[in-house]
Amino acid sequence: MTLKLTHLAKACLLLVAAGSALASSHREAPFITTSPKVDGTDFYMFSSYEAGRTGYVTMIANYQPLQDAYGGPNYFKMDPNALYEIHLDNNGDAKEDLTFQFRFNNTLAAAGAGVKIPVGSASVAIPLSQAGTVANLADGNLNVAETYSVKVVRGDRRAGTSASVVKASGGSAVLEKPADFIGDKTFGSSAAYAAYADKHVHTVTIPGCAMPAKVFVGQRQEGFAVNLGPIFDLVNATAAQITNPANINAFASKSIQDKNVTSMAVEVHKSCLTAGSDPVIGGWTTASLRQGRLLNGAPASGLQTTEKVGGSWVQVSRLGNPLVNEVVIGLPDKDKFNASKPSGDLQFATYVTNPTLPSLLGLVLAGDLKALAPTNFPRTDLLNVFLTGIGGVNKPAGTVTPSEMLRLNTAIAPVAYADQNRLGVAGEVLRVGGAANLAQAKDLAGFPNGRRPKDDVVDIALVAMLGGLCVVNSNGTIAGITASSNADVLGLNTFTIPGTTPTVLKSECKVANVPLGATSAAVHDGVDQAAVTFLSSFPYLNTPNSGSTPKQ
């Protein structure tokens, strides 16, 4: 593949700025705070870098944010009344062409009666999720069996052709989910729990796909490194702290790796995901609930019998690029964005062309809305990449319908975990000294070309939002774009934005428009994503934290 190198140096960071900054999508909208089981936190999509899995693509959708591992006795089972989905667009029309649908079923042991023990002359149901130690698939000591099914839908998510994903061995459509990591006495050590969870990595057959795939659903350690508390506390840090590279790990103890999430991971060969000769796919995850709900004040015995649901599915959560809703979309439109589809994203264009985050950073760090924010308004450069992908990198071939989603070029080879640049494509541009030297790059498989667990999207976003790419070289040039140039570095597109006339989008990179100057290229959040280690094989995210460790 030939990369448009003159476009890449700035464009690769601007995509991130448009779609993310500061944290993953935890509790990002008013309604979703009331339904944490369907709150999507992160979406990853990348070419698998596990040895022997060349040609495969991994997609991971995380839900249920900020889980405290000790949250018993019910822990964090998935909602059987919800529909969880991973959507793929493989022709650039902003509509799903392929959807993986996950439905969950939580069943009490003993044919719905639950585990009972003799107490005196009575046989009484126990109050816990387990009646003893657990080590095996469908372990007899589990009081609740957690299973799920996966369907693949081709075409429209509701009107398309649907078929069940089944185990490659035996053909069953019922897939087992591991119980959450209750604690070391129930499961043994973290290594023992890892072995238990590995038994729930299912090799499956996908109808219409000639290659076997893998599926895993289960609890994982939160992998996203972010200085979460201080950031939402009006960025409770000084400007000096977040602009000094020496402080890049200053707040590591404030990150969220002491929390867990629930992951839905699928690994599928790229030949089953792409269309024709175009290697680019776009992906996002959603969760939906039934339109109607009745509550029973006198529920029957069983699981979740208080609630009776019905009606059509209503989308309540959406996530592609990290943090679009959390810090890009304004508070009045957050629920609206969660219910929206990519094809309607131009309605949110003003939040990208006139982003509030740089101005808010200036206000809380320097007391002045204009202190840190670049002044090339409207930020049409951000809108261009935000909605189409980067030309020559991960922009689909042919006509592209403007839409926000995570885009991956499956033709770009993956890089082993140890050799990955935490700043992805952007980091390689900086490492080799600019796009003119990109032939020396070793890693073009990271964010914004998809997203891997190790990619530090927070730091990339901060640098881009504050204009760091304009001043990365001492003479104010990058990739041949001078400080005084209005050169088009992203390629021209025409968007019809609601309420405006058609707009031809151009980009500029003027040092004079960057209040922070050279300092903007060093901005960070005080937490280094590379400091978090991950697995080198599917499902890549780490074994979850234990809810209890033995007393010493």
Determine how many CB atoms are found less than 10 A away from the CB of residue 410.
Answer: 26
Three-class SS of residue 347?
A: helix
pLDDT for the residue 342: 94
Record the tokens describing residue 427, joined without a space.
Answer: 């980091």
C-alpha to C-alpha distance for 27 and 29, rounded to whole angstroms: 6
The stretch 454-460 carries a mean pLDDT of 84
The stretch 215-230 carries a mean pLDDT of 88
C-alpha to C-alpha distance for 47 and 56, rounded to whole angstroms: 6
From 3, 49, 66, 88, select the one nearest 392 (Cα to Cα): 3
Q: 142 or 524: which carries more pLDDT confidence?
A: 142
pLDDT for the residue 49: 97
pLDDT at 69 over 50: yes
From 274, 338, 278, 284, select the one nearest 95 (Cα to Cα): 284
Record the tokens describing residue 49, joined without a space.
Answer: 């870098």
Match 């978090």 to its residue by tokens: 532
pLDDT for the residue 237: 73
- DSSP states of 161-174: EEEE-EETTT--S-
* Cβ-contact 338, 325 below 8 angstroms: yes
Strands 40-47, 213-221: pairing is unpaired
Three-class SS of residue 264?
A: strand
144-153, 345-354, 387-396: range with lowest mean pLDDT: 387-396
pTM exceeds cut of 0.85? yes
Three-class SS of residue 261?
A: strand
pLDDT for the residue 195: 97
C-alpha to C-alpha distance for 114 and 108, rounded to whole angstroms: 5
pLDDT at 337 over 50: yes
Number of residues written out for the chain:
552
Q: 476 or 303: which carries more pLDDT confidence?
A: 303
98-107, 183-192, 227-236: range with lowest mean pLDDT: 227-236
20-24, 233-237, 299-303: range with lowest mean pLDDT: 20-24
C-alpha to C-alpha distance for 396 and 439, rounded to whole angstroms: 22
Indicate the average pLDDT of the chain. 83
